[in-house]
Amino acid sequence: MKFLGNKATVMPLAVVTLMLAFGMPQADAQGLFERLFGGGIRRAPQGDFPPPPRHRPKPREFAGGGSRINSPSYYTYKADRLVRVDFATLMAAPQPVAPQDAAFVPSLTSDAFREAIAGLGDYELYAESDIAKALIAYYSANPDFIWVTGTGPNGRAQDAVRVLGEATSYGLTPADYSVAVPARASTGGADARLQELVRFEMALSARVLRYVHDAQSGRVDPNRITGYYDFPAKPLDMEGVLKTLVRTQQVRIYLESRHPQNAEYQALRVELESLQASSEDEIVVDPKLLLKPGQTSPELPKLLAKIARDLDDEMGGAYGEILARLATSEVYDPELVPVIKAVQKKAGMKGDSVIGPRTVAALVGTSKADKIQKVQVALEELRWLPSDLGSPRVFINQPAFTASYIENGEEKLKTRAVIGKTTNQTSFFYDQVEQVDFHPYWGVPQSILVNEMLPRLRRDPGYLDRAGYEVVNARGKRIPSSSVNWGAYGAKVPYGVRQLPSEANALGELKILFPNKHAIYMHDTPQKSFFQRDMRALSHGCVRLQDPRGMAAAVLGTSVDYIAEKLKHGHSTEKVARTIPVYVAYFTAWPDMSGKVEYFSDVYDRDTRLQQALDSTEAVRSPAS
């Protein structure tokens, strides 16, 4: 954002483009905010990139003693109920309040405040439980107004109310933070005015704390949406926020600094503003359309109209007559097959003639309403991540089926990726890259051993011996697969299985590890043909790379030739010497390095589930005063 007096203007796209292209000194910017305003946010001592919890890989939970291991599930999100703020403790506190905050300095209005709190007896203010506790704790130790001076709201309050009212520009809901501002002149006596002001004081503090929490961490707890989400909490010292706000007149800058301070967040905000100001495309096609030659759909004429409208001279000469003749056809006539293939190939797709969601998205684009929702969802998801995404970093965007290595604001490597199938979804989390394994062993996950290998092993116990796998018992001793009575086991198999390094190894020639409880990592694959597909949700959950050597060279800070040389010498491991965060992310709207936002299909239908969680939160908040 730029700050011009009391007005906020969204950062121009050109500035965002430069930030993305050349890198933004995010840590320096955040450090400036901290030096200006101090408290409120508890940060890890080693810098702006907070290390995630150090999970070690562990098997999935067993499914009730059955013969399968279940994947993580999705939950019905229930937002926490609001509580009524209990002002009785504050009203009953001795005068002067004890213990009083050591930094508290009474002002000319402190006596008025102590008199005013008597007016809170029947006041019904509802807030999140941690906010309610913070209000009582802060005002017990600091019995004075933050937002009131004399007989009315002060400039600090006016700035705060303006920022809360602009929540839409961040993809937030202004009603969540609305506060009734007292009129300039009171219609009642002095006592009535004092009661009105103290209630305004408490309401504004409660909504400012909600805003700061939402800006920093998001409106929902992602880990309560699904087991596929795994994010560390971002602690917030709410009393510290209020202490900071009472000391500064730069309320706008402070509140806006609580949002993520990365260029991607700003680019998404620019996109949201642009979308809200734009007109809808008059041709909207069902994004879930699936149509094969010979089938019928009322959506087909709309798709054909979009194709005809965007024809260039070459395509028009080849297919203009067919499109004109069949413009109103709801039947996918065989004559239209070469037309669809041609436009698919022009859009960078395989050209299989099947009209599916990816074809619709490529040819028609996403509707304005869907784009706005995707951007709002992306802004929420970005609040779950560190404010400074780090440099260098690895960024995997699952809906885009890509993995990138980014350093100093430059995308130095971007490669196609394969992610988990809808039945074996890749989780959304972040971690740190630790090592590269050359010619790796593949430790078969218990879920694959139980769900996929065990049925065959019951029929053919020696299968693993012939297929290049090792079996070890609980003491780590290698034993023949044929010696195990596999039929004696269900979901709990007391043996470890690993595949030896080979051309047929499921991990290919190398893997890149960032140990996590989901047992997810990046690796090579012998199934190279998968990278030619447009929809690449095809794995058991790990991320397969089209250019694994390039990614290994990037994270190790070396050359592809060095990686090739290492691969000549068999199995080995090399540690990554630098701190490189890796984001195994899920964004259906995401800016490229020029700042242009791209849109992708919601392959796991997670946007829908997140929207349900946001709706649940909004429903809980809406009755609040």
Query: Among all residues, which ones are annotated catalytic?
Result: 523, 542
Packed helices 190-217 and 155-165: angle between N→C axes, nearest 10 degrees: 50
Query: How many Cβ atoms from other residues are within 10 Å of residue 624's Cβ?
Result: 18
Relative to beta strand 510-513, strand 522-523 is: antiparallel
* Structure tokens, 17: 């483009």
Residue given tokens 């926490």 in the structure block: 80
Q: Which residues contact 365 (CB under 8 A, 6 or more apart)?
A: 281, 599
Rg value, the chain, Cα: 29
Cα–Cα distance measured from residue 418 to residue 426, given in angstroms and rounded to the nearest whole number: 10
- As a dihedral over the C-alpha atoms of residue 163, residue 167, residue 169, residue 173, rounded to 10 degrees, the angle is -170
Residue 48 is given by DSSP the state: S
| 27-46 b/e (C-beta count within 10 Å ≥ 16 → b) | bebbeebeeebeebbeeeee
Residue 487 is given by DSSP the state: G
Amino acid at position 338, single letter: P
100 φ/ψ angles, rounded to the nearest 5 degrees: -95, 145
How close are the terminal C-alpha atoms of the chain, in Å? 30
377 φ/ψ angles, rounded to the nearest 5 degrees: -65, -45
Cα–Cα distance measured from residue 531 to residue 20, given in angstroms and rounded to the nearest whole number: 27
Dihedral angle sign, alpha carbons of residues 419, 424, 425, 426: negative
- If phi > 0 it is left, if psi is from -120 to 50 it is alpha, else beta; for residue 570 that is left
Say how far residue 357 (Cα) sits from the centre of its chain.
23
